[in-house]
Amino acid sequence: MMKEATPVTIQITKPEVEALINRRLETGSFKDAEDVILQALKSSEAETQGTDEKRSDAIDRLMTFGKTHGVSLGDKTIRELREEARP
């Protein structure tokens, strides 16, 4: 059984944030400030998920390339190699 979320009151204290929200509201594309924030959060979440998927795909391609061409990192991780390469 899911626990019901407790309502939260959010106070916007930075004028620049309020101005951004108001500009979005002026476009007529949003019904209220809550809708502006919801859409921003959804967009941010989708962007993060896309980045994670791209990273996972890149790792899969590297592993496939290594197997196909007989390339091995030995016992090193990509992070260790990256650290070695830094000046």
Q: Which two tokens stand for residue 32?
A: 């209220």
Instruction: Report how far residue 18's alpha carbon sits from residue 61's, in angstroms, rounded to the nearest whole number.
Output: 44
Contacts of 30 (CB under 8 A, 6+ apart): 24, 36, 39
Place 87 in a pLDDT band, splitting at 50, 70 and 90: low
Higher-confidence residue of 22 and 44: namely 22
CB 30 within 8 A of CB 24: yes
Note the Cα 87 to chain centre separation in Å: 29
Q: Please determine, for residue 55, whether its predicted confidence score (pLDDT) is greater than 80.
A: no
Query: How far from 49 is each of 19, 40, 59, 83, CA to CA, in Å?
Result: 28, 14, 15, 26
Q: Please determine, for residue 14, whether its predicted confidence score (pLDDT) is greater than 80.
A: yes
Q: Please determine, for residue 1, whether its predicted confidence score (pLDDT) is greater than 70.
A: no
CB 41 within 8 A of CB 32: no
Q: What is the mean pLDDT of residues 37-55?
A: 83
Q: Please determine, for residue 39, whether its predicted confidence score (pLDDT) is greater than 80.
A: yes
pTM: 0.51
